[in-house]
Amino acid sequence: MENRENQQDNLPVEFWASYWNLTAEQLKSIISKIESRDFIKIQNYIQIKLSRGGGQTTFTGIDSNTKS
């Protein structure tokens, strides 16, 4: 039986990204920054970013390397 981390690796990035209304590239960047594919860790990272954005409701700018 696979462990939870390996099961998450099998999920398509596009599916996860759509859950948070992100592009696949933005989600890959987040995964790289936090060095984890754990759902809870990603969710916490996104919540922290949103709370620092002053009530921002979109994820534009979450990845400082991406230009709009």
Residue 30 belongs to domain spanning: 13-51
When divided into structural domains, the chain yields a total of: 1
46 close to 30: Cβ distance less than 8 angstroms: yes
For tokens 């390996």, the residue is: 6
Q: What is the pLDDT of residue 50?
A: 86
Q: What is the pLDDT of residue 52?
A: 81
Q: What is the pLDDT of residue 8?
A: 54
17 part of a folded domain: yes
Q: What is the pLDDT of residue 60?
A: 52
For tokens 């390397």, the residue is: 65
Summarised one tens digit per residue, pLDDT across range 12-60 is 889 999 999 999 999 999 999 999 999 999 999 999 988 886 444 455 5
Q: What is the pLDDT of residue 68?
A: 42
Q: What is the pLDDT of residue 59?
A: 52
45 part of a folded domain: yes
Burial 47-58 (b: 16+ CB within 10 A, else e): eeeeeeeeeeee
32 part of a folded domain: yes
What totals of helices (H) and strands (E) does the chain contain, helices first? 4, 0
Residues in Cβ contact with 28 at an 8 Å cutoff, skipping those fewer than 6 apart = 13
